[in-house]
A and B are shown apart, each in its own frame.
Chain A
């Protein structure tokens, strides 16, 4: 009996020893989630990340620092005084890289393997457009070594090198798309998958980012001519039919316009339009005798002109699309290039195209300018810059543009006195966003931000 029990005990013990690992295997994978997804669907996911970046906080902050909206409460109140910390940029830095860029790379790899060059091209064009914004906002950023796990410490490339790479990505995207000009089956942006419209976006984006580096090249004829060439193939329709917009529905936290959601549901009272530069400027434009901005003012702002327009006809209606690229920007890029080349006639034509666009899209009733309206080339150039500032309303690009032109935007009030944009606090304008705490925390290559680093110019604007 005694031996039997000892043997039995040992046997049970040994059986247990063998059975342990067998009992626990087979439960490693989450039964509810896939570890892979199709390129087309992931592309749409990446577009949504891109949307949240481009339409979300970076746009809000750009609009405050461009004096096109006002920060009214909490942290937004301090942004008005140019106060910010690295923590403020954690979410958007992650969205920019892990959300948008990371998934765009996945799409490119999968689409290339499957020979879906249209999808690969779209992903490349979106990557170029997106990283151009990232480089513009932060300056030197990781790119050549980004999204290459297990490299968790990508180096920071110089801003100008990133702009060069952006042109390459856009070129590659246009080439890939052109080699398989077939619409995308699904598209979260307003192109609805249209191949030609994606290619036009690629060209417009090229023009925009060439202009970003043109200042550093003293606006050389070479680069200005390149801009004109690219812009000419870009988004130019004066009815707005080629404009690239985000798309929205009416479901809270799922499809609503992000500005609507921010102002109505998520963060009521954080932003308004009190104390902007752009509203008095728009009001004053009528004093040139040819402009009427009633339509555009009413589109962006409420009747009292102290807040944004969130009604059904406004820019921030619950389901309104938000602009990624308007045709007016393309025309104004050409106008600026022409005027800097000394071709005032063509510059005037492009400026008037932008005004026609505004009449069509915003129900403005401005008349065309004629050469006599501008006694000097400098006057024409200033008018183009002023119009660019307004045309980029509430976009990240407005802030990028202002920094390139040293915030030299002005208007004449009813008394004919010139009002020039001035910093909202202190004597300096902000020049960039700060690197996120999350990057600084984990990547030793990330520069430590000194106090007031937001006032340091990025290389392209030095």
Chain B
């Protein structure tokens, strides 16, 4: 199969490079395109003949040529971003040149008039009965994230993206119009040039380990011509059981003649500088230790006030070793662990595109390389090299072949994150401020002078004593010694053959292949906190999918006022994955390379799956009186993952209607309302169950518990299988989502203002769910079609051109959307955990939105007041409850574009109102005493010190009287008492909130309720600012020079106290709103330069 893809790729390249001279004998259209107001020539405008594949783009002088046109009458259409679509009838005769001079008018409506449907056909936008969001592909390339999905943020209503971390290539979660599945991923199907591709993640994504890498990132944004977003089943039903989450249809650029030039080249380069978005707030006043005193190797920063130290060198217990036990801590040196792990790297992205063509063929070859460096000091990068070759060839008047292909190779290094002693920030942010992370490796000298080379030094093992473990890894040790790498080779492409035997009949055969291999390696040297004897894990994965579609479309024209089309298609696909891994531990030679042959123990693993789908489908359209457009589709589909006792085939219908009411005679010439359309659509689509959950299997016993995920393995005990705890289900069927949407599009004041509003409701029935079953039944879960979900929402898009005083213009786009999600049935189970930790989860709860934060909370009385203990402190409730909704109330994108001649300024604001995040990082750091909030110093009167109690029930006076050595309370010369902490009141009078409460008591994330660390995560974000200038440059063969400067994430206004309110530990998973030592997000500046020859 891999070879097949290579053949496709090689053929594409050959076709592309062998574009030959044509057999001209037909008609020719020549013309120029200029701005109707300024007379300026329009460069790069797309010109095409409607319902044909004839087309061209204008050259540097605004001229174009379309050759070899079959004699007939056509509609010539011109589309250009920022301009109204132009349309004119034109008649071509044999061996004649038709000359047209086209003037196009600028418009507030920045949408192309033609859209690519989910199934890959082209339809006029005005005929669509569903809302389609088209994203300006040109704007994606300059965003500076190198991530296609992240670039969609705020660009259209109804798109929710979450950039979970700033790690290079980290997957961005994307959900269209709300969550429709609990078990399955909620990301839309990505259809590239008409064919679905892999768009999931490789590696990572759990509560510990590295951030997931998205395979969507293999697509170079520079190669994209257009993106259409179909947000739900009403628009995407033709993809049946793969389309419940909607479809993103991406079309890659194709070649072609630019004016008279048969070959053109453009060269581009982008240079970005990244940096940490926001520092995590840490305190710098109190040192390592506990109970107010310094403690060598102390695991907390509840030590002495650093400002009270003498400032002399630390006193050591012996002189033969620099890192010997500190007897007295004197040094006042402090270190900022929020910033000392990060740098400001430079990322370079460069590419060259070769385009060309003649009357019979066109080609595009693009090569690019991205070298992205992350902000973590080392081993955080992404190197992506891609080659794309697209070619089209017209063999005869009615046979066209098109090939698109891409080879991409990417290599990424990553640093671990999350709940993980080998995670970067877990140890990093917990480190007391008076501990210097450098050096992280030292040669340990014992009391007798014996040397052990290269021992890890951490704040929990400050002497690097090999007899003690490191506790947490030193973050510098992680950065330089514990890398995880992923190498990916991917080849994907399509072959499309179009045959038009009659003028009214068209056949398309499309075959798409997508093949990639991953090689994942993660290594822990001996002495690592996770694997004291060392470990290397290697996993080799291969995935491929083949999609085949045969479509036949017949058009009919009964009269001028009644016409339509009928399409039928046949689809099969095959998706296969295979992975082999080995985890080897216990290195024999500690200094030798971390290879299998250097290890004593091995644990192999293997995974395999095949999923197949087959379907027949059809579509019928009727256009009435040029104003009413009706469309119906149906798909009858089978897939291999359904249970033996379930039905094999399912039907997915959709219907839509668009009524362009401004075509009515009495509305036709009202200048205020230049265009109006009503839309109504309904459709059904689904999600397939995962492979192999219809049966119960036996597997190697690897029992564990919450503290020791895997404790034992049957392979060490002569083989010991256990029955799986998930009960197979022979009745599994797809989870069905049906959607109804209703909308209105209108344009006002001569198209200066355009408004689109859509109201939708989608309901998922038979939602797949790992139903928790009572463990006492012998199983813990069963996958079943058990739940029901619904989404209800509104989307609004307003585009307006406020101002046009030539040559100045100001356009604004507002994208606003609101989605209300609800779990309406959960099969009798009250809570399903989607992500997070015991007691702090993102869950599904009946009658709540999916992802609701659920966990431990304060015990409360019937009147909701806190249930206080004898000392006046709140207590933890034995059971968990709802803590907050991470889903926002609404989201908005606010895009302003200001142009002055060829200078354009684009500003994108991203606004999220509401939504919560569990700041687990803060909860842990309260216990550790390193959080900035733990920077407290309070003085109380002697009288107060006699009466106010702390969590342990002691007053400062009793503590002082009880011990002459205590260091927690300082008696000042005036009799007042100072301490680290503050006075609080939970409703039963003043209490002292000190180390007892924050470290031993319940005011931290380990011991106390999760509730107290749930924060509002709403934000206003200056997502993008870009300034670009395009210069026509007729010098040394150059045509055009574009320079732009883009800033991303430049400002963030939020009440959230962590790194970024958008963060999410488990990346693209369905659980959201979990912040637990996630690697931080970034901001960047990018300078782009493009030269067209």
Counting CB contacts under 8 A, is A49 at the interface?
Answer: yes
Report Cα–Cα, A32/B607, bound state, in Å.
Answer: 7
* Nearest CB in chain B: distance from A14 CB, A: 9
> In residues 1-42 of chain A, which contact B (Cβ within 8 Å)?
1-2, 5, 9, 12-13, 16-17, 19-21, 23-37, 41-42
The 0/1 profile, CB within 8 Å of B marked 1, for residues 336-352 of chain A is 00000000000000000
Query: Which residue of B469, B570, B771 is within 8 Å of A13 (Cβ)?
Result: B570
Query: Which residue of A24, A148, A261, A452 is within 8 Å of B711 (Cβ)?
Result: A261
- Spot the interface stretch: B97-105, B714-722, B753-761, B888-896: B714-722
Counting CB contacts under 8 A, is B876 at the interface?
Answer: yes
Counting CB contacts under 8 A, is A267 at the interface?
Answer: yes
Counting CB contacts under 8 A, is A149 at the interface?
Answer: yes
Q: Is the CB of B775 within 8 A of A269?
A: no
Counting CB contacts under 8 A, is B313 at the interface?
Answer: no
Q: Is the CB of B725 within 8 A of A25?
A: no
- Spot the interface stretch: B390-398, B656-664, B687-695, B1081-1089: B687-695
The 0/1 profile, CB within 8 Å of A marked 1, for residues 741-784 of chain B is 00000000000000000000000000000011111111110000
Q: Considering the complex, give the chain A residue whose CB is closest to the CB of B701.
A: A45
Q: Is the CB of A102 within 8 A of B717?
A: no
The 0/1 profile, CB within 8 Å of A marked 1, for residues 592-614 of chain B is 00000000010100111111111
Report Cα–Cα, A52/B705, bound state, in Å.
Answer: 8
For A450, what are the chain B residues with a Cβ–Cβ distance below 8 Å? 878
* Nearest CB in chain B: distance from A99 CB, A: 6
Q: Is the CB of A42 within 8 A of B698?
A: yes
* Nearest CB in chain A: distance from B358 CB, A: 31
Q: Considering the complex, give the chain B residue whose CB is closest to the CB of A436.
A: B775
Counting CB contacts under 8 A, is A312 at the interface?
Answer: no
Counting CB contacts under 8 A, is A116 at the interface?
Answer: no
Query: Which residue of A56, A149, A261 is within 8 Å of B779 (Cβ)?
Result: A149
Q: Is the CB of A91 within 8 A of B706?
A: yes
Report Cα–Cα, A44/B618, bound state, in Å.
Answer: 56
Report Cα–Cα, A47/B716, bound state, in Å.
Answer: 13
The 0/1 profile, CB within 8 Å of A marked 1, for residues 877-895 of chain B is 1111000000000000000
Counting CB contacts under 8 A, is A101 at the interface?
Answer: yes
For A444, what are the chain B residues with a Cβ–Cβ distance below 8 Å? 828
Question: Contacts A29-B695, A48-B714, A254-B601 hold; do A103 and B775 have CB atoms under 8 A apart?
Answer: no
With an 8 Å Cβ cutoff, the count of chain A residues facing the other chain is 111
The 0/1 profile, CB within 8 Å of B marked 1, for residues 262-276 of chain A is 101111111000000
For A262, what are the chain B residues with a Cβ–Cβ distance below 8 Å? 707-708
Report Cα–Cα, A84/B1002, bound state, in Å.
Answer: 12
Counting CB contacts under 8 A, is A222 at the interface?
Answer: no
Q: Is the CB of A152 within 8 A of B774?
A: yes
Q: Is the CB of B776 within 8 A of A154?
A: yes
Report Cα–Cα, A231/B502, bound state, in Å.
Answer: 95
Report Cα–Cα, A87/B831, bound state, in Å.
Answer: 12
Q: Is the interface of B mostly helix, strand, loop or mixed?
A: loop
Query: Which residue of B611, B637, B776 is within 8 Å of A146 (Cβ)?
Result: B776
For B828, what are the chain A residues with a Cβ–Cβ distance below 8 Å? 442, 444
Q: Is the CB of A35 within 8 A of B698?
A: yes
Report Cα–Cα, A290/B421, bound state, in Å.
Answer: 47
Query: Which residue of B530, B728, B856, B1000 is within 8 Å of A265 (Cβ)?
Result: B530
Report Cα–Cα, A154/B773, bound state, in Å.
Answer: 11
Q: Tell me the B residues contacting A by CB distance below 8 Å.
A: 299, 460, 469, 471, 501-502, 505, 529-533, 550, 552, 568, 570, 572, 585-586, 601, 603, 606-616, 618, 636-641, 644, 648-649, 691-692, 694-699, 701, 703-723, 725, 727-728, 771-780, 828-831, 838-839, 856, 859, 867, 875-880, 927, 1000, 1002, 1006-1007
Counting CB contacts under 8 A, is A418 at the interface?
Answer: no
* Nearest CB in chain A: distance from B319 CB, A: 25
Q: Is the CB of B719 within 8 A of A93?
A: no
Q: Is the CB of A9 within 8 A of B697?
A: no
Q: Is the CB of A47 within 8 A of B698?
A: no
Report Cα–Cα, A105/B779, bound state, in Å.
Answer: 13
Question: Contacts A42-B723, A86-B879, A87-B856 hold; do A24 and B638 have CB atoms under 8 A apart?
Answer: yes
Q: Is the CB of A20 within 8 A of B722?
A: no
Q: Is the CB of B299 within 8 A of A94?
A: no
For B876, what are the chain A residues with a Cβ–Cβ distance below 8 Å? 83, 85
* Nearest CB in chain A: distance from B167 CB, A: 26
Q: Is the CB of B612 within 8 A of A32?
A: no
Counting CB contacts under 8 A, is A57 at the interface?
Answer: yes
Q: Is the CB of A49 within 8 A of B708?
A: no
Report Cα–Cα, A153/B780, bound state, in Å.
Answer: 12
Instruction: Pick the most buried of B609, B696, B879: most chain A CB atoms within 10 A of its CB.
Output: B879
Query: Which residue of B469, B772, B880 is within 8 Å of A268 (Cβ)?
Result: B469
Q: Is the CB of B552 within 8 A of A9?
A: yes
Question: Contacts A52-B711, A251-B716 hold; do A94 and B649 have CB atoms under 8 A apart?
Answer: no
Report Cα–Cα, A85/B875, bound state, in Å.
Answer: 12
Counting CB contacts under 8 A, is A330 at the interface?
Answer: no
Counting CB contacts under 8 A, is A441 at the interface?
Answer: yes
For B717, what are the chain A residues with a Cβ–Cβ distance below 8 Å? 44, 47-48, 188, 247, 255
Q: Is the CB of B715 within 8 A of A254?
A: yes
For A442, what are the chain B residues with a Cβ–Cβ distance below 8 Å? 771-774, 828-829
Q: Is the CB of B703 within 8 A of A52?
A: yes
Q: Considering the complex, give the chain A residue whose CB is closest to the CB of B610.
A: A27
Q: Considering the complex, give the chain B residue whose CB is closest to the CB of A105.
A: B778
Query: Which residue of A253, A266, A453 is within 8 Å of B878 (Cβ)?
Result: A453
Report Cα–Cα, A252/B696, bound state, in Å.
Answer: 28
Q: Is the CB of A49 within 8 A of B716?
A: no
* Nearest CB in chain B: distance from A53 CB, A: 8
The 0/1 profile, CB within 8 Å of B marked 1, for residues 76-100 of chain A is 0110000111111011111111110
Q: Is the CB of A48 within 8 A of B703?
A: yes
For B714, what are the chain A residues with a Cβ–Cβ distance below 8 Å? 44-45, 48
* Nearest CB in chain B: distance from A70 CB, A: 13
For A451, what are the chain B residues with a Cβ–Cβ distance below 8 Å? 859, 867, 875, 877-878
Question: Contacts A13-B616, A21-B638, A32-B607 hold; do A103 and B723 have CB atoms under 8 A apart?
Answer: yes
Q: Is the CB of A152 within 8 A of B615?
A: no
Q: Is the CB of B775 within 8 A of A56?
A: no
For B859, what are the chain A residues with a Cβ–Cβ distance below 8 Å? 451
Complex A-B: 14 CB contacts under 8 Å: A16-B616, A35-B698, A83-B1007, A98-B725, A98-B779, A102-B778, A142-B774, A148-B777, A149-B779, A152-B773, A254-B601, A451-B867, A451-B877, A451-B878
* Nearest CB in chain A: distance from B599 CB, A: 11
Q: Is the CB of A95 within 8 A of B614?
A: no
List of 4 A-B pairs having minimum Cβ-Cβ separation, nearest first:
A102-B778, A44-B720, A443-B774, A45-B701
The 0/1 profile, CB within 8 Å of B marked 1, for residues 150-173 of chain A is 011110000000000000000000
Question: Contacts A41-B719, A47-B720 hold; do A17 and B611 have CB atoms under 8 A apart?
Answer: no
Query: Which residue of A16, A94, A97, A254 is within 8 Å of B716 (Cβ)?
Result: A254
Q: Is the CB of B775 within 8 A of A255?
A: no
Instruction: Pick the most buried of A17, A270, A450: most chain B CB atoms within 10 A of its CB.
Output: A17
Counting CB contacts under 8 A, is A106 at the interface?
Answer: yes
9 further interface pairs, Cβ-Cβ under 8 Å (given A41-B719, A147-B778): A16-B614, A42-B723, A44-B717, A47-B717, A74-B927, A86-B880, A434-B878, A436-B775, A438-B775
Q: Is the CB of B469 within 8 A of A264?
A: yes
Q: Is the CB of B502 within 8 A of A2?
A: yes
Report Cα–Cα, A27/B719, bound state, in Å.
Answer: 28
Q: Is the CB of A77 within 8 A of B720?
A: no
Report Cα–Cα, A27/B49, bound state, in Å.
Answer: 46
For B585, what are the chain A residues with a Cβ–Cβ distance below 8 Å? 251-252
Question: Contacts A83-B1007, A258-B708 hold; do A95 and B829 have CB atoms under 8 A apart?
Answer: no
Q: Considering the complex, give the chain A residue whose CB is closest to the CB of B859.
A: A451
Q: Is the CB of B720 within 8 A of A147?
A: no
* Nearest CB in chain A: distance from B841 CB, A: 9
Report Cα–Cα, A436/B831, bound state, in Å.
Answer: 13
* Nearest CB in chain B: distance from A358 CB, A: 29
Counting CB contacts under 8 A, is A313 at the interface?
Answer: no
The 0/1 profile, CB within 8 Å of B marked 1, for residues 232-273 of chain A is 000000000000000101111111001001101111111000
Question: Contacts A17-B636, A24-B612, A97-B776 hold; do A254 and B603 have CB atoms under 8 A apart?
Answer: yes
